[in-house]
Structure 1
């Protein structure tokens, strides 16, 4: 199991499988909603991100941020856990990827910024 998933799982009180899928859905949403190259830099530089994306499968977000929220709630997460997953993902990414790059990636999807 990756350090990212361990960290998210412990902080949000989730099983590792649910934590992996939640992180994957957030990353898939970020990827689908932004064309900024900072997103791919963040994903490729964050250990465990690729595995989390794979766990999310073919996530579709036709409904924007509401679709992401629905997916995460469908995994059993409440709003507090969703915020915790996002915050832990961003903090972990910033510890492995240039902080400015991660901030740029998040800022490239304005709908996501209030949740992380």
Structure 2
């Protein structure tokens, strides 16, 4: 994951900690919005992904308004913009995350995970 964070930091002009938080929010959204087992498999097989989700603090499990429940894609966008990312940076983070996940996990698994949440398609 350090390699991915360094690449995103350089390409998007972000601090690695911000890149990790953004990755965590994207993955937490994917996890919250999909019931496809491919999502869990992708996260489990991508080094650092589970830690990024935990760092993002999304998986409270209580459905509270502060989590991804009820926030939808707009909530995800708000969280990412709240980190200081603009749309171009969001797309860089998402694109690099997907490319990294496809190397670490089976590309078909990653594609299936992403397809299970169509609202992410504009970002990846």
Q: TM-score, normalising length from structure 2?
A: 0.88
**Structure 1 position 6, deviation (Å):** 2.0
> Does structure 2 conserve the Cα–Cα contact (< 8 Å) formed by 1:2 and 1:47?
no
Q: How does 1:9-48 map to 2 (within 5 A)?
A: 9-48=9-48
Count residues in correspondence. Answer: 116
Q: 1:89 aligns with which of 90, 97, 101?
A: 97
* Structure 2 unaligned residues grouped into runs of 5+: 60-66
Superposed CA deviations along residues 35-93 of structure 1, whole A, max 9, x for unmatched, are: 00000010001111122112101362212101000000000000000000000000000
**Structure 1 position 113, deviation (Å):** 1.4
How many angstroms apart in 1 are the aligned matches of 2:51 and 2:6? Answer: 13
Give the structure 1 partner of residue 73 of structure 2. Answer: 65
> Does structure 1 conserve the Cα–Cα contact (< 8 Å) formed by 2:25 and 2:58?
no
**Structure 1 position 3, deviation (Å):** 2.2
Give the structure 1 partner of residue 123 of structure 2. Answer: 115
Runs of 4+ residues deviating >4 angstroms: none
Q: CA RMSD in A?
A: 1.2
